[in-house]
């Protein structure tokens, strides 16, 4: 398998899941975004590959059987997209969908190498069913991707952990419980807490995160929970936390990152009924999509042009340079 270096249509997989969250409503996000005129006007050409539908079986830990069904179906979709060399975006849903998204990506890429992951979030999401006081599964995807927790969720598509601890960075963390912190510390996961982001700046932190998750991987992904941002930038979330990442600064930081080996992006926890009259959260989701994939497309195109020019005989290269200078 090779990672594509050509401009291509963005393939969107939606996940209409919400029962694993604290508040119901994230299950509406994929359909709202599919109909969004903001997204339809987006400069990034895209098509919807599918929307995986929820399979409700209860709430809290009672949601586990249904969540398992949904995450297997989502993993099959993301694995197929990666194997087909598609430019992949997943729009959830509560953050439990990350189990399916990155299980599929990791298994599809496993023949060529590991995948790295930058996790942007207010929360660690590193509980297991045993450590969680609430039983809300949207607070558990990191642990399951690391191979912990419920066997039905940590063995989707294969029995191996999907993300190595050294290939994972959490960014913007400011709300967590001791069992989550203890698990991540024990496993050696790098966490950039919000106080470090404030001190260093989001551009510097994201640059280090991208470098870390790319050291020994064939590519990296980003899982972006919009509650990682300031509440005023993303009011439509079920678990808001004050003091988050400034969304404008984050958007400005993205073009400074090397996105050429970005294999997939996931944006989650948009809860449409909580959005304001200006549809601030919906606009942020679209701005993230446009900025990420415009950056990647530009960087890949520039890199390919440079490689093409290196292959030219010296006389043709001189002629081309003169032609460019004359225009």
Give 8's pLDDT tier (boundaries 50, 70, 90).
confident
Give the predicted TM-score (pTM) of the model. 0.92
Res 144 pLDDT > 80: yes
Q: Are the CB atoms for 96 and 140 separated by under 8 Å?
A: yes
Residue-level pLDDT at 4: 44
- DSSP designation for 178: H
Residue-level pLDDT at 317: 44
Secondary structure (3-state) at 224: strand
Report how far residue 183's alpha carbon sits from residue 199's, in angstroms, rounded to the nearest whole number. 25
Q: Which of 160, 95, 93 is nearest to 125 (CA)?
A: 95
Q: In the predicted model, what is the mean pLDDT of residues 234-248?
A: 98
Q: Where along the chain do its domains lie?
A: 10-326
Secondary structure (3-state) at 54: coil
Residue-level pLDDT at 302: 87
Res 305 pLDDT > 80: no
Q: Average pLDDT of the chain?
A: 93
Res 321 pLDDT > 70: no
The set of residues, in sequence order, having a beta carbon less than 8 Å from that of 271 and lying 6+ positions away, is: 23, 25, 26, 28, 29, 236, 237, 238, 281
The residue with tokens 């995986």 is 52
Res 5 pLDDT > 50: no
Q: Are the CB atoms for 223 and 125 separated by under 8 Å?
A: no
Distance of CA 304 to the CA centre of its chain: 25
Length of the chain: 327
- CA geometry: angle 89, 94, 96, nearest 5 deg: 85
Task: Assess if CATH 3.40.800.10 describes domain 10-326.
Answer: yes
Report how far residue 167's alpha carbon sits from residue 209's, in angstroms, rounded to the nearest whole number. 9
Secondary structure (3-state) at 6: coil
Give 145's pLDDT tier (boundaries 50, 70, 90).
very high
Residues 245-277 pLDDT 10s: 999 999 999 999 999 999 999 999 999 999 999
């Amino acid at each position: 398998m090779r990672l594509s270096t050509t401009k291509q249509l963005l393939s969107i997989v939606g996940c209409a899941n919400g029962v694993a969250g604290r508040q119901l409503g994230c299950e509406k996000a994929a359909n709202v975004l599919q109909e969004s005129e903001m997204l339809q006007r987006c400069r990034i050409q895209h098509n919807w590959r599918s929307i995986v539908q929820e399979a409700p079986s209860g709430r809290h830990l009672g949601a586990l059987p249904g969540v398992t069904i949904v995450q297997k179906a989502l993993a099959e979709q993301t694995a197929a997209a990666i194997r087909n060399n598609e430019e992949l975006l997943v729009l959830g849903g509560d953050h439990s969908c990350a189990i399916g998204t990155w299980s599929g990506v990791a298994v599809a890429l496993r023949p060529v190498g590991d995948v790295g992951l930058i996790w942007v979030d207010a929360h660690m999401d590193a509980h297991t069913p045993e450590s969680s006081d609430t039983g809300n599964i949207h607070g558990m995807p990191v642990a399951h991707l690391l191979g912990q927790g419920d066997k039905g969720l940590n063995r989707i598509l294969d029995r191996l952990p999907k993300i190595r601890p050294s290939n994972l960075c959490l960014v913007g963390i400011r709300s967590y419980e001791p069992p989550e912190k203890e698990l991540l510390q024990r496993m050696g996961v790098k966490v950039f807490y919000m106080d470090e982001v404030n001190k260093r700046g989001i551009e510097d932190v994201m640059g280090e995160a991208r470098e870390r998750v790319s050291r020994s991987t064939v590519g990296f992904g980003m899982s972006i929970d919009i509650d990682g941002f300031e509440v005023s930038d993303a009011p439509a979330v079920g678990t808001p936390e004050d003091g988050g990442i400034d969304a404008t600064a984050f958007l400005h930081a993205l073009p400074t990152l090397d996105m050429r080996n970005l294999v997939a992006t996931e944006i989650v926890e948009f809860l449409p009924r909580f959005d304001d009259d200006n549809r601030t959260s919906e606009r942020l989701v679209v701005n993230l999509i446009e900025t990420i994939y415009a950056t990647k497309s530009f960087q890949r195109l520039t890199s390919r042009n440079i490689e093409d020019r290196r292959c030219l005989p010296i006389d043709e290269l001189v002629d081309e340079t003169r032609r460019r200078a004359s225009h």
